[in-house]
Amino acid sequence: MFSYRHAFHAGNHADVLKHFIQVQLHKYMNQKDTAYTYIDTHAGAGVYALDSAQAVKSGEYIDGIARLWGRDDLPPALADYVGLVRSLNPSGKLRWYPGSPWVADAEARLEDRLRLFELHPADIKVLAENVRKREAHHAEQGERARGRRILVERADGFHGLKTLLPPPSRRALVLVDPPYEVKLDYKHVRDALEEALKRFPAGMYAIWYPVLQRMESRQFADRLKRLPAKEWLHVTLSVAGPRADGNGLHSSGMFILNPPYTLEATLRETMPYLVQVLGQDAGATFRIEKGTQVTGAIAREGAAGAPRQPVGNARRASPLSGGGSLRLPGQAYGDGPRTRGEGEQGRAPGAAAGRGQRSPAPGQRDGDAAQGERKAAPRGAGPGARTQSRKASPNADTAPRAPFKRNGSGRS
């Protein structure tokens, strides 16, 4: 259960995505005078040494934060993030990397509260020591908060989240970032968020997750879209195309429930730059989508003006469903049956329609129509009856065929 150690992965491309977004979430929360509570369900060690044996062995930070370290053309959001990392490395040499608790402490104000949960027996000790040093540093600077500003607890973050909601100030930023070393972590995240939204629907919830080949990861975002949040925003970053063996982490995502209204514009400005700088091959890309729980509507990058598409189970509904079975918000009844191409994504124009209705080969159309007409004529009828049937059904070759049912299953 405790095999995952983030020291091997600190500062990689997934951390860049997660932490530059976290900085922006804190800056948005700081715009209001009312204090807020930051809750980290899986806090980790807090700070990581990039010259440690684990970091040197993996070398993942070299293709992450190190690629941004010497840049002088950073977009504003990345400049804020890299500036925070620089404050942890005053010598100018990239040696230390901040985890999410350190990011939260650096961005939050004295009146805000940090509640950190960690279960790993080694990381919890390092986290507690790092927090003690940070509090001592604040005291040396004359910065003293009322009460315990930072609390560290060795406990299950999913359970701890329930005990802290709703917060006293009715403002909260929650980061959910489990290791996903077991498949049940995906279910635990969704269940914890569903319970959290019942207790405190106005909270801001940020979820990081790895984009992997396993089914739980591929279905994770769609499951989060069904949670009863007012709005959601989803972004993924891929630094390379998937490998044939399925190994390695090349993509990750951040899913934000009740996101800041300013975040989407920030992402659209920043993500192309990250793809350019962190990309490792032609498969590098990003994706941004947003929606609301009430309507289930999605707006995707590059899909301006396109008709809204159903989400969740609607994508996998039977293509043989009758008219109205996949009715979208605002669509009238009786719009006709749904073809196989409707609701599919990522296909070239005309490819989906080709699947719904196959074009006959030259010379085959008349033969098929004649064969269908011969079958339609009653047995024992002469050639005149068949000719009459042909005249009565001039469009027989274009009429839709009803699905053939076998044993009541509906399969053809």
- What pLDDT is attached to residue 411? 41
Q: Which residues are catalytic?
A: 177
**Cα–Cα distance between 147 and 335 in angstroms, integer?**
62
In degrees and rounded to multiples of 5, residue 268 shows phi and psi of: -65, -25
| Residue 58, pLDDT above cutoff 90 | no
Structure tokens of 138?
């604040």
* Contact assessment for residue 158 and residue 192, using Cβ atoms and an 8 Å cutoff: yes
In terms of Cβ atoms closer than 10 Å to its own Cβ (0-12, 13-18, 19+), residue 203 is buried
- Which H or E element spans position 125? helix 121-140
* Contact assessment for residue 255 and residue 232, using Cβ atoms and an 8 Å cutoff: yes
**Cα–Cα distance between 39 and 165 in angstroms, integer?**
10
Under DSSP, the state recorded for 176 is E
Q: What is the dihedral of CA 228, 201, 158, 145, to 10 degrees?
A: 160
Structure tokens of 143?
């910065």
Residue listed under structure tokens 């961005």: 107
**Cα–Cα distance between 172 and 134 in angstroms, integer?**
22
- What pLDDT is attached to residue 365? 43
Range ranked top by mean pLDDT from 173-177, 341-345, 365-369: 173-177
* Rounded average pLDDT over 317-331: 41
**Cα–Cα distance between 90 and 350 in angstroms, integer?**
57
* Contact assessment for residue 204 and residue 176, using Cβ atoms and an 8 Å cutoff: no
Lowest mean pLDDT of 16-20, 137-141, 195-199, 200-204, name the range: 137-141
Q: What is the CATH number of domain 6-210?
A: 3.40.50.150
More reliable by pLDDT, 385 or 150: 150
* Rounded average pLDDT over 21-27: 98
- What pLDDT is attached to residue 342? 37
Distances, alpha carbon 362 to alpha carbons 359, 366, 368, 394, in Å: 9, 9, 11, 18
Report the chain's mean pLDDT, rounded to a whole number.
Answer: 79
* Rounded average pLDDT over 102-122: 95
Q: What is the dihedral of CA 235, 238, 242, 248, to 10 degrees?
A: -100
Residue listed under structure tokens 């490819």: 351
Q: What secondary structure does DSSP assign to 11-62, as a single string?
A: TSHHHHHHHHHHHHHHHHHTTSSS--EEEESS-TTSEEETTSHHHHHH-GGG
Q: What interhelical angle do 76-87 and 13-29 show, nearest 10?
A: 100
CA-nearest of 239, 238, 235 to 260 is: 235
- Which H or E element spans position 194? helix 184-199
Lowest mean pLDDT of 2-16, 24-38, 157-171, name the range: 2-16
**Cα–Cα distance between 10 and 71 in angstroms, integer?**
20
Q: What is the 3-state secondary structure (H, E, C) of 315-356?
A: HHCCCCCCCCCCCCCCCCCCCCCCCCCCCCCCCCCCHHHHHH
* Rounded average pLDDT over 53-58: 90
* Contact assessment for residue 282 and residue 300, using Cβ atoms and an 8 Å cutoff: no
- What pLDDT is attached to residue 353? 41
Residue listed under structure tokens 């001039």: 394
- What pLDDT is attached to residue 367? 43
Distances, alpha carbon 37 to alpha carbons 63, 87, 149, 254, in Å: 33, 23, 10, 20
Domain locations in the chain as residue ranges: 6-210
- What pLDDT is attached to residue 326? 40
Confidence of residue 24 (pLDDT cuts 50, 70, 90): very high
Q: Which residues contact 228 (CB under 8 A, 6 or more apart)?
A: 194, 197, 198, 201, 293
| Residue 308, pLDDT above cutoff 80 | no
∠ CA 392-396-401, rounded to 5°: 135
* Rounded average pLDDT over 279-302: 77
Lowest mean pLDDT of 119-123, 153-157, 183-187, 303-307, name the range: 303-307
